[in-house]
Structure 1
Amino acid sequence: MPNIVEPKLISGNANMPLAQSVARRMSMHRGINVGLVDARVERFNDGEIFVEVFENVRGEDMFVIQPTSNPANDNLMELLIICDALRRSSAARITAVIPYFGYARQDRRTKARTPISAKLVANMLVEAGVERILTMDLHAAQIQGFFDIPVDNLYASPIFALDIQHHFKGADDLMVVSPDVGGVARARELAQRVNAPLSIVDKRREKPGEVAEMTVIGNVKGKKCIIVDDICDTAGTLCKAAEVLLEHGATEVHSYITHGVLSGPAVERITNSVMKSLVITDSIQATKAVVDCPNIRVVKTAPMFAQAILNIWNGTSVSSLFDHETLTPIYEGMYSHS
């Protein structure tokens, strides 16, 4: 085995601010400068992606930070080509850090003659030389089984719990809401962390992107409702759920969503929504419209990803990051003031 001195980070163009934040956090933890490996990731005139790594990576433990968010195909190809470049440069191990795992919603065949694209993406990543995956809030947990390599799936709920405890300090009228039956497990975990009851909005879709009707399961009258979900795409369901909750007597509605895809009319809908706030993570780089939106707030994932990368490199537990006692010191100072 080569003597691996330090973990090395490299990033594509999908979310450079997050990669730089992770590098800064790791520098704080290590007490030495952990920078991003110098590389260029460019496009030829016809759209082909070209990668050149300017530093020696032979025998190194490499972590490639690249969410496969919009434009999903370009960012996925960047990730695959970076990994291929590292493998051909004799890197000892390649870990793909994918804060937002694109194609995760295509995890099963919903009707005849449709693909399981999430499995195809898994195969492509392994073929490119990836030996481990680090991601956050996979849309479907069973996607971990699509890989024959280790997959560490982090959860945003511990970060959200810290944020809720800070912003709703002492509130005894909180109600955590799952926007559909499929997300009950995620909502239940957050509800337990903040010691709040659980409610469900049961929605019935006529076709994708449209919500036919919604029913609230549970009494939300006089409650501050916190909707929790993994992905907010066009925000149609989210804004409608907020309206239905207020109609059922909720005093105010807030949402905590891990991945702010926020495509199409999403930001405009949220701006005009009855929701008081939407909290997302920086797993996907926020657009200017998202940053400028007064009722959208972004919480940082860099402290968690930096610690997870160090734990993987050290061969220590990643699941320890799900504990309140472990996570609180990592986020110390971030929630000392509003």
Structure 2
Amino acid sequence: MTRNLDPHDVRLFSGRSNIPLARNIAQHLDIPLEETRFSKFSNDNLFVQLGASVRGRTVYLVQSMTPPVSDHLVELLMMLDIAKSAAAREIHAIIPYFSYARSDKKDAPRISITARLIADLLRTSGATHVMTMTLHSPQVHGFFSIPADPLTARMTLEQFIRQRPLDPKKDVVVAPDMGRAKPAARFAAGLGLPIASADKTRVSDTEVKIGGLIGRQVEGFEHALVYDDEIATAGSVVELSEVLVESGIKRITLICTHGLFLGPAVERIKSIPQIQEVITTDTVERPSERRPPNLTVLSVGNVFAEAIRQNYLRRSIGELFEGMET
């Protein structure tokens, strides 16, 4: 169990997006998860109250940006503002899933670069530091004008996969597009497996076209491990799975850090019988209807807890992930 935190100095609170993960973090840190009170007024305005004094203390606020994203974002901003107004010494926003990391550029006229806007709002609301995990667009890290630490779940995922027999002549890691090719290559290297990558064109928010595989082909392999940062509507991974099956792949394992499984995702995954396992983490809390068959959820509570400990003790967080990148 992770220790070395002063329970009289540290306060850990959670929004409503992922209370089980926050409890897991608290358990690893051996500190209580303090109460946070939420309610709504008759005019639909949100009321938030932190249930313990934060004056002069180090405060950690856990909140994922999961649906309903706007509600959870406002909760977090209010919690940050409360901690700042109540004279907390340090205020750390722990955001396991940062959904606006997709909005990293102006790729159409008259739109917002929302990731930068959210980064500014977090700072303005009182955050002195942000900790998140596996940003969809790594360059979003540069939008923060306060210290920000994007953690990785790769070690957790690798350790789980290594528990089963792997054969570099039968098993291959596949990236769904060139943007994820480098992280997938690192993941494959950690497992001692070859890597392949797909050529993807996005048609809409929920539809993609896979033009084929780039470089290494998968003929002769039996099992594909599709490695992505997140699965939302599953359009990319299912389209890729169809290409893999046509190429002779008999078994497919989907692996991602953030498993949202929104809209048609579960039915899409069910439509490909060769998808025999889905592995994700608990950065996102999901109801039972958004859980595909054969889903395995690995906790990253220990990863966040250890990073929080390193941060509190003024030690390098990077030491936890030497040789690891998202």
TM-score by length of 2: 0.92
Structure 1 residue 162 displacement after superposition: 0.6
Q: Quick one: which of 173, 180, 186 aligns to 2:183? A: 186
Structure 2 residue aligned with 1:11: 14
For the 8 Å contact 1:4–1:61, the answer to whether it is kept is no
Distance in 1 between residues matched to 2:143 and 2:26, nearest whole Å: 29
Aligned residue for 1:204, secondary structure, equals strand
Distance in 1 between residues matched to 2:65 and 2:207, nearest whole Å: 25
Structure 2 residue aligned with 1:229: 228
Task: Give the letter aligned to residue 169 of structure 1.
Answer: P
For the 8 Å contact 2:262–2:290, the answer to whether it is kept is no
Farther-moved stretch of structure 1 (188-197 vs 36-45): 36-45
Structure 1 residue aligned with 2:280: 280
For the 8 Å contact 2:39–2:46, the answer to whether it is kept is yes
Give CA deviations for 1:153-179 in whole Å, capped at 9, x if unaligned: 11111111111101x324333211110
For the 8 Å contact 1:255–1:278, the answer to whether it is kept is yes
Q: Quick one: which of 155, 163, 184 aligns to 2:152? A: 155
What does 1:123-272 correspond to in 2, within 5 Å? Answer: 123-166=120-163, 168-172=164-168, 173-217=170-214, 218-223=216-221, 224-272=223-271
Structure 1 residue 215 displacement after superposition: 0.5
Structure 1 residue 138 displacement after superposition: 0.7
Distance in 2 between residues matched to 1:295 and 1:129, nearest whole Å: 41
Give CA deviations for 1:85-139 in whole Å, capped at 9, x if unaligned: 1111111000000000021111100122111011111110000000000000011
The change in CA–CA distance for 1:196 and 1:119 in structure 2 (over 3 A counts) is same
Find out whether 1:318 has 2:317 as its counterpart.
yes
Find out whether 1:21 has 2:24 as its counterpart.
yes
For the 8 Å contact 1:235–1:269, the answer to whether it is kept is yes
Structure 1 residue 81 displacement after superposition: 0.1
Give CA deviations for 1:180-215 in whole Å, capped at 9, x if unaligned: 011111111111111111100112233432223420
Distance in 2 between residues matched to 1:303 and 1:289, nearest whole Å: 27
Distance in 1 between residues matched to 2:166 and 2:256, nearest whole Å: 22
Structure 2, unmatched stretches of 5+, are: 1-5
Structure 1 residue 39 displacement after superposition: 2.4
Structure 1 residue 221 displacement after superposition: 2.1
Distance in 1 between residues matched to 2:204 and 2:19, nearest whole Å: 36
Q: Percent identity?
A: 33
What does 1:57-72 correspond to in 2, within 5 Å? Answer: 57-72=54-69
RMSD: 1.8
Task: Give the letter aligned to residue 228 of structure 2.
Answer: D
Distance in 2 between residues matched to 1:227 and 1:59, nearest whole Å: 46
Farther-moved stretch of structure 1 (47-56 vs 177-186): 47-56
Give CA deviations for 1:249-305 in whole Å, capped at 9, x if unaligned: 2231111111112111111222232311111111010211234x3222111111111
Structure 1 residue 141 displacement after superposition: 1.1
What does 1:93-132 correspond to in 2, within 5 Å? Answer: 93-132=90-129
- Following TM superposition, the consecutive aligned residue runs of length 4 or more in structure 1 with deviations greater than 6 angstroms are none
TM-score by length of 1: 0.89
Distance in 2 between residues matched to 1:283 and 1:221, nearest whole Å: 34
Aligned residue for 2:315, secondary structure, equals coil
The change in CA–CA distance for 1:43 and 1:169 in structure 2 (over 3 A counts) is farther
